[in-house]
Amino acid sequence: MRPPAPDAFVWKLLDLHTSLLRVSRGRLGGRLGRLRFLVLHHVGARTGADRQDTLLYRAHGEDIVIVASKGGGVRNPAWLHNLRAHPDVLVDLPGGGPPVAVRAREIDGPEREELWRFMVAMWPFYATYQRNTDRLIPVVVLERRPPPG
């Protein structure tokens, strides 16, 4: 049985939540029930401009796992293209501490399948998104690295 898709009201709440999370740099809104959100600071592949995206994540040991679902759209999210070009990025995690330096690594094969199931267990809509698109939705591991400088 498919979980129902979020409705317009839910998307409006998520927009408000995203604003709160970004403005507070993770101090407020980083946790919503069992869900965890981060702010991904990345650099535009073409423009070099600073970008931010709020994403669901799940810790996997010391690593952070994110999914490039774009709600099951036909194209990957722009942030994935940017991470492919510039994998060393920062994330704001819940709690409002200093940004965490990470290196993005797109995964495949058995590792992807394991972490895909791990993420679907947290957010079942990912399975719905995958059924609604022909592309294989990418899974990305953010590995912690020493802070810049």
Tens of pLDDT, residues 123-133: 999 999 999 99
Among 16, 11, 14, 29, CA closest to 95: 29
- Coil, strand or helix at 93: coil
Q: What is the pLDDT of residue 148?
A: 64
Do 23 and 78 touch, CB atoms closer than 8 A?
A: no
Please report, as a single letter, which amino acid is at residue 145.
R
Q: What is the pLDDT of residue 2?
A: 40
pLDDT, tens only, 75-108: 999 999 999 999 999 998 887 788 899 999 999 9
Do 37 and 30 touch, CB atoms closer than 8 A?
A: yes
Among 39, 66, 52, 42, CA closest to 141: 66
Record the pTM: 0.85
CATH class of 31-144: mainly beta
- Coil, strand or helix at 3: coil
pLDDT, tens only, 49-62: 999 888 999 999 99
Query: Tell me, what DSSP letter sits at residue 99?
Result: P
Question: How high does pLDDT run on average in the chain?
Answer: 87
pLDDT, tens only, 21-71: 777 766 666 777 788 889 899 999 999 999 988 899 999 999 999 999 998
User: Which helix (H) or strand (E) segment is 50 a member of?
Assistant: strand 50-60
Asked whether the predicted pLDDT for residue 10 surpasses 70, the reply is no
- Coil, strand or helix at 144: strand
Q: What is the pLDDT of residue 97?
A: 80
The pair of three-digit structure tokens given for residue 44, joined into one six-digit string = 């535009």
Query: Tell me, what DSSP letter sits at residue 124?
Result: T
Query: Within the chain, what is the greatest distance between any pair of CA atoms?
Result: 50
